[in-house]
Amino acid sequence: MYRSQHLALKYFTAAMILFGLMIVAGLLASTSYVLDGFLLNKLDFSVTKMLHIDTMIIWLLMGFIGSVYWFVPIEFERETVGIRLAEVLFWIFCAAVAVVAAVFIFVQYGRSTEMSLWFINQGRKYVEAPRWAAIGITLVVVVFIYNVVGTAIKARRITGIMGVLMVDLIPLFGLYLIAFPSMTNMSEDQYWWWWLVHLWVEATWEILIGCIMALALMQLLGASRRVVETWLYIEVGLVLGTGILGLGHHYFWIGTPSYWLGIGGFFSALEPLPLLGMVVHAIYDAGAHRMKTTNRPAFFWVLAEAFGNFIGGGVFGFMMTLPQINLFTHGTQWTVSHGHFAFWGAYACGVLAVIYLALQKSRSAQQLDGAAWKWSFALLNIGILGMVGALLVSGIAQAFYERAMGGSTLQAYMQGQTNVWFVQGIVMRLVFGLVFAAGYVVLMYDLLTTGKKRVTAEVLQPRVAGGPA
Amino acid sequence: MYAEDPAFWRAGAISSTLVMLIVLAFLTVDSLATIRPGGTNVPHYTVINKEIRYEFDSEANRYRPVIGADQPLFGRVYSPEEAEKAMRLGKLVIQSRNCMNCHTFFGNGAYYAPDLTKAWLDPAWQQLWMPMTQAASREEAIATFLMYRRNSLRGAGRCPTFGSRAKKPRRWWRISNGWRRWRPTASRFISATSRPTIR
């Protein structure tokens, strides 16, 4: 194994720890919904919710970075350039995350000065990390780019997938610079903020996970490079062809000109297409190889990624994206439902698949299988589907009673919040959150133990799905 | 066949991306001109000196904010510089107190607490909170409401007090003693909010 791959495992470990913290923060935040005044003025909803979304962003980012450090030496058949610097930066990254989390938990709020934005909290949703930490994240991304591009130059070769990946690292870095300014005018502030959030999550990250999944499919199923690359280009063309102007669905109600209603609605209606393409691709590859694999957990997480991305991101996103519908659904629990499903399906499942792939290789296991991964797979997916469904019920009640009937006044808001369907959905979200947390515990057990016991090939032969029994 | 050659699809990906980026660049230039303060869609910061109503526009078939006559905030007219400074401070309050992780602005935020985009235009200030707080103006009613929101609305107790970091907590507490005297009257208003007759 290359040093780059050992670093990848470190990133995966950190990602899984943050994944756990994300769940804890999410459970606390959802309890605040159920019990009025829960931890008020100690660990407010704003703090737990902020920790929930920020740890999510960071663990997924760590998962992506880890995945790329895993695949780079395989693609270029040499050690990653500048690996020592990357190793040092990993620890700085972890320390910075710990400091920011400690400040969020113990300091929480600052005074109304620029100093608060530099050292405590930027308070811009997703862009909460204080500016000094944002500089740190930028630094990590710069070194990451240096590692990937430097390795390609040293190896004097490039593959199609790595080419797409390298080009994609430019917006990954460039868009993050939007995290720094804070404009007084809310319309301008949100205009640029959405460049960061939308063009990261619905464009840059989609391409990044597309590359990672392409590499994973080749390692997992031995899919042909030519087919995988063709699919990747089609996906890139569709993701960026629809997603860049799909940005318009965030410009419906922030004061921007009304042509965004048409542009945003049209292009976001097309946004599910590339995600459907990924589903077709995954099924095609699975079928072409008769679902034969030595790593069933990774294989099923890849499938979960394809379907989760399409249904959670594509279908659930499209459901509320047309301006006529979005007028009533934006800013309700409906959005939360879509957000949970999309991030889980599009990104979390993909990262978990790569982690299983990496574990198989690092533990030299001929075969990964067993009962634990199935339990964790079932519990996590049932947990997320339950949360998504419950939040959708709450969101529909809110859109109907608060927005459509009540006219979005404070009075209507209060009526929406006390509506029985809304309350039931909020309670069920907590219940399924606990199911999800149970799935996480089993997942951690499986990740720590899987593939450690040597098993002989004869015993495993009949258990290969679709293989000769 | 072209379609079997990855290079064909690569060219497609690059060209579609470039076309979309160019279109986005043009639209961005156009949009930013309309949403800058004083642009066609966003009034200048001195709008805080004006009356803002929320009226039904029968042509557009929806409610729209309408800027009316002069109506100084807290009885004071702000110069353009002062207005911008006040807005900047307000934005810093919102960011440093992490408002967006409970509330929403333009429907963007955390959905745990009410959307604040047009909170200023909410009918509750005139219909409920001004008589309840016996304030002469909407801004005074809002100031009183914010200080005592925990006592004044079911659910508003979810909002942190930020008390430990308030600059002059003692003065706040003195006023809050005054609150206790008229709370019985206020609680009648609170129970009235659940009645559908009150708009």
Is B188 contained in some domain? yes
User: To which residue do tokens 């502030």 refer?
Assistant: A189
For residue A153, what are the contacts with CB-CB under 8 A and spacing of at least 6?
Answer: A81
Query: Which chain B residues touch A33 with a CB distance below 8 Å?
Result: 112
- Dump the DSSP string for A126-191: S--S-HHHHHHHHHHHHHHHHHHHHHHHHHT---HHHHHHHHHHHHHHHGGGGGS---SSHHHHHH
Q: Which residues 100-139 of A are in CB contact (within 8 Å) with B?
A: 108-114, 116-117, 120-125, 128
Is B108 contained in some domain? no
Rounded to an integer, the average pLDDT of A33-55 is: 90
Hey, what are B90's tokens? Answer: 């307000």
A60 φ/ψ angles, rounded to the nearest 5 degrees: -70, -40
Which residue from B28, B87, B198 is facing A184, i.e. has the nearest CB?
Answer: B87
pLDDT tens by residue, B26-55: 999 999 999 999 999 999 999 999 999 888
Q: Which domain holds residue B185?
A: 119-199
What ranges do the domains of chain A cover?
1-157
- Taking the C-alpha atoms of residue A132 and residue A179, their distance in angstroms, rounded to an integer, is 11
- Taking the C-alpha atoms of residue A188 and residue A432, their distance in angstroms, rounded to an integer, is 38
Is B81 contained in some domain? no
Instruction: State the helix-helix crossing angle for A83-106 and A3-34, rounded to 10 degrees.
Output: 10
Q: Which residues 1-60 of B are in CB contact (within 8 Å) with A?
A: 4, 6, 9-10, 12-13, 16-17, 19-21, 23-24, 27-28, 30-32, 34-37, 41-42, 45
| Number of helices and strands in chain A (H, E) | 20, 0
A408 pLDDT above the threshold of 70? yes
Predicted TM-score of the model (pTM): 0.89
Provide the sign of the torsion angle of the four alpha carbons B96, B99, B104, B106, taken in this order.
negative
Classify residue A458 as exposed, middle or buried by CB count within 10 Å of its CB (0-12, 13-18, 19+). Answer: exposed
- Tell me what pLDDT residue A284 has: 83
Least Cα distance to A349 among A275, A429, A294 occurs for: A275
Least Cα distance to A187 among B157, B121, B37 occurs for: B37
**What's the structural domain count of chain B?**
2
State how far residue B148 is from chain A, nearest Cα, in angstroms.
15
Query: Which chain B residues touch A238 with a CB distance below 8 Å?
Result: 16
Complex confidence, ipTM: 0.89
Classify residue A198 as exposed, middle or buried by CB count within 10 Å of its CB (0-12, 13-18, 19+). Answer: buried
- Tell me what pLDDT residue A293 has: 85
- Tell me what pLDDT residue B196 has: 34
User: To which residue do tokens 């979390």 refer?
Assistant: A348
Least Cα distance to A238 among A196, A269, A212 occurs for: A269
State how far residue A360 is from chain B, nearest Cα, in angstroms.
31
**pLDDT above 90 coverage of chain A, percent:** 76
pLDDT in tens, chain B (199 residues): 667 788 899 999 999 999 999 999 999 999 999 999 999 999 999 999 999 988 888 988 888 889 999 998 888 899 999 999 999 999 999 999 999 999 999 989 999 988 998 888 888 888 888 888 888 888 888 888 877 766 556 566 678 877 533 344 344 444 444 444 444 444 434 443 433 332 2
- Taking the C-alpha atoms of residue B112 and residue B118, their distance in angstroms, rounded to an integer, is 17
A336 pLDDT above the threshold of 70? yes
pLDDT tens by residue, A151-172: 999 999 889 999 999 999 999 9
The answer to whether A332 faces chain B, any CB pair under 8 Å, is yes
pLDDT tens by residue, A71-113: 999 999 999 999 999 999 999 999 999 999 999 999 888 888 9
What mean pLDDT value characterizes chain A? 91
Q: How far from each other are the two terminal CA atoms of chain B, in whole angstroms? A: 68
- Tell me what pLDDT residue A358 has: 95
Closest chain A CA to residue B16: A241
Is B170 contained in some domain? yes
